[in-house]
Chains A and B, each alone.
Chain A
């Protein structure tokens, strides 16, 4: 078993269980990559469970991917951390299900786990100044030239797979890795508000907003009742009613604002 490089020692004071799992993962990385990935997956699950417990305790017993999605939606987990967590979950699952893993894969995920650790420490102790040294790859055991060649081959394969995944993500996701999603969101929301104003001033288009809201409300109620969302009928109805009411309120407010502006304009142009 390889000695720990101390990469995760700083975690001890924030969460000793997570620190222990991380150190175990690190110690197995060369001797037993499957176990290393399994420990990393457990580490991510423990992190997610702790954070979900703080934010949405009703989701604690759900699947890891559901917890990750919930953390991402609540804004606790940004895209980069979500990618690290999903990568560990994916490779950890593969190891658990008997698919042979390689040391290069385990090493990459270990580094992902290390990157996550700093963020996690900050999450469990808000405002904490986390003292984390640079990542030190664990020292490899001495190997013969044949093993070294195999390792290099596995590393090249892993690199190719990562490139492929990256390209697929770039093509599929609505926002790319380099996009400033917040700036784009701000810009598009501004344009959408302008379209809202146009619709109110110029008159509703053929498929009007009230009709769209009604159709969406009916569809969403069915979606929320679907087993994949698992809401009861009353929960689904309540959730949709809240969203529908918010729409009606925003819509009425926008129309009211327009009427106010129009009245003010009329007053300003009234002959004295």
Chain B
């Protein structure tokens, strides 16, 4: 999968999780973004291109699930972990967030064990972030 598609999948999936709950602080957003960039190996250019407004509005969550279903297993696990981190960074589990995690995991053809492993990883990383994490660019 091209980097732009991966970045598009990531930003749509992470935004959906963020929008399903209470508004995130910038540091929480940045923590998830940093994780994704480091783990998914996305460079700045690709992230900025994926977040371009016209590019984003051309894609729906159904597109996101479709792209997620084509991710290699390891990459899909990383995306799922990052998405769960978005919820965990804000210690939030609103109904729409629960629904999104369920739909995305299923689109990735995960079973319950695999999903739970991603959640454990997300929890560990989220716990390592101080609650008052520095702002972006510090």
Given that A69-B131, A172-B47, A179-B53 are known contacts, is A207 also in contact with B106, CB under 8 Å in the complex?
Answer: yes
Check if A216 sits within 8 Å of B101, measured CB to CB: yes
Q: Bound complex: CA of A237 vs CA of B112, how far in Å?
A: 24
CB within 8 A of B131: which of A66, A169, A175, A207?
A66
The number of residues on chain B lying at the interface, defined by a beta carbon within 8 Å of a beta carbon of chain A, is 72
Interface string of A176-202 (1 = CB under 8 A from B): 101101001100110111011001000
For window 88-138 of B, CB contacts with A under 8 Å fall at 88, 90-103, 105-107, 109-112, 115-116, 119-120, 122-123, 126-127, 129-138
Residues of A within 8 A of B105 (CB): 205-207, 212
Check if A69 sits within 8 Å of B61, measured CB to CB: no
Check if B102 sits within 8 Å of A207, measured CB to CB: yes
Check if A207 sits within 8 Å of B135, measured CB to CB: no
Given that A167-B44, A184-B19, A209-B98 are known contacts, is A216 also in contact with B25, CB under 8 Å in the complex?
Answer: no
Q: Bound complex: CA of A239 vs CA of B105, how far in Å?
A: 25
B76 within 8 A of A: no
Closest to B43 in A: A171
Q: Bound complex: CA of A86 vs CA of B25, how far in Å?
A: 12
Given that A206-B111, A207-B105 are known contacts, is A172 also in contact with B91, CB under 8 Å in the complex?
Answer: no
CB within 8 A of B23: which of A75, A87, A211?
A75
Closest to A206 in B: B106
Q: Bound complex: CA of A172 vs CA of B86, how far in Å?
A: 13
B26 within 8 A of A: yes
Check if A222 sits within 8 Å of B51, measured CB to CB: no
Contact residues of A: prevailing secondary structure: helix
Query: Could you tell me the distance in whole angstroms from the C-beta of B24 to the nearest C-beta in chain A?
Result: 7
Check if A223 sits within 8 Å of B126, measured CB to CB: yes
Check if A211 sits within 8 Å of B27, measured CB to CB: no
Check if A209 sits within 8 Å of B133, measured CB to CB: no
B77 within 8 A of A: no
Q: Bound complex: CA of A68 vs CA of B27, how far in Å?
A: 10
Residues of B within 8 A of A65 (CB): 27, 132-135
CB within 8 A of B15: which of A69, A165, A188, A240?
A188
What number of residue pairs across chains A and B have CB atoms under 8 A from each other?
216
Check if B37 sits within 8 Å of A83, measured CB to CB: no
Query: Could you tell me the distance in whole angstroms from the C-beta of A63 to the nearest C-beta in chain B?
Result: 5
CB within 8 A of A212: which of B18, B91, B111, B115?
B115
A230 within 8 A of B: yes
Check if B25 sits within 8 Å of A191, measured CB to CB: no
Given that A174-B11, A179-B53 are known contacts, is A192 also in contact with B134, CB under 8 Å in the complex?
Answer: no
Residues of A within 8 A of B53 (CB): 176, 178-179
Closest to A253 in B: B95
Check if B25 sits within 8 Å of A219, measured CB to CB: no
B39 within 8 A of A: no
A266 within 8 A of B: no
Query: Among the listed stretches A9-17, A105-113, A244-252, which one makes contact with chain B, having 4 or more residues with CB under 8 Å of it?
Result: A244-252
B6 within 8 A of A: no
Top 7 nearest A-B pairs by Cβ distance?
Answer: A205-B106, A86-B135, A165-B137, A172-B33, A65-B132, A66-B132, A250-B95
Interface residues, chain B, CB within 8 Å of chain A? 11, 14-16, 18-20, 22-30, 32-34, 37, 44, 47-48, 51, 53, 56, 60-62, 84, 86-88, 90-103, 105-107, 109-112, 115-116, 119-120, 122-123, 126-127, 129-138
In the complex, given contacts A173-B30, A192-B100, A206-B105, what are 5 additional A-B residue pairs having Cβ atoms less than 8 angstroms apart? A79-B26, A83-B135, A90-B134, A216-B101, A243-B92
